[in-house]
A and B are shown apart, each in its own frame.
Chain A
Amino acid sequence: EPEVTQTPSHQVTQMGQEVILRCVPISNHLYFYWYRQILGQKVEFLVSFYNNEISEKSEIFDDQFSVERPDGSNFTLKIRSTKLEDSAMYFCASSDSDGDYNEQFFGPGTRLTVL
């Protein structure tokens, strides 16, 4: 069964460093998402992406964040200068439609720890 994959599973970085989190969505999907979950808190929407453009972004997704689909298979989230409060589990998701109902398939997440 096709699945969304994410690498690395755990990333440790120093405050102020840049990190790139990588995702490989399901191959025929066109809609891509990043969410994050700070430990003990809710899963929060960060950004959605379609046709090489951001469709929607949350208030969390400020100028320090960017997303890219550098080739036909990867979808990346870059944090330019990490802060302690960026420590969280980051989930990538993809779907094949944008109708009122759309099933988003999630990857296993990347745990980002900022020291």
Chain B
Amino acid sequence: GEDVEQSLFLSVREGDSSVINCTYTDSSSTYLYWYKQEPGAGLQLLTYIFSNMDMKQDQRLTVLLNKKDKHLSLRIADTQTGDSAIYFCAETLSGGYNKLIFGAGTRLAVHP
């Protein structure tokens, strides 16, 4: 079945790297996404990766995909207090009419 799992909470010190992990169960994922939600705001697309790729880098963000283990991670380098938010992992499936299947979100807390 379709399932996406994430750990619920991560606390890091400002300036350190953050790594948020996600696992999914469906082999027919086409794209995997990371969304960010700040308080009072909607979900904002941060980055995405095509399921045939292993890695994607976008400035401070690095996405790693291990398709064999169905594991996705988001690394944020030099984490800042402005990165404090909830991060959602999501996938779309082949033949899935583009509905997004989300995890429960990881709350990232950045402290000085």
Contact = CB atoms under 8 A, between A and B. Distances in A.
A104 interface: yes
A12 interface: no
A35 interface: yes
A100 B32 CA distance: 11
Contacts of A56: 96-97, 99
Given A41-B104, A42-B103, A42-B104, A31 B98 contact: yes
Interface string B69-110: 000000000000000000010101010111111111100000
Contact of A100 (B43, B92, B101): B92
Contacts of A108: 40-42
Interface stretch (A14-22, A43-51, A63-71, A80-88): A43-51
Given A41-B104, A43-B88, A98 B41 contact: no
Report, as a range, how many residues of chain A touch the other chain.
20 to 34
Contacts of B4: 42
Interface size class of B (residues with CB under 8 A): 20 to 34
A102 B44 CA distance: 13
Interface string B5-43: 000000000000000000000000011000100001111
Contacts of B105: 42-43
A13 to B, nearest CB: 21
Nearest to B93: A100
Interface of A: 4, 31, 33, 35, 40-45, 48, 55-56, 58, 91, 93, 95, 98-109
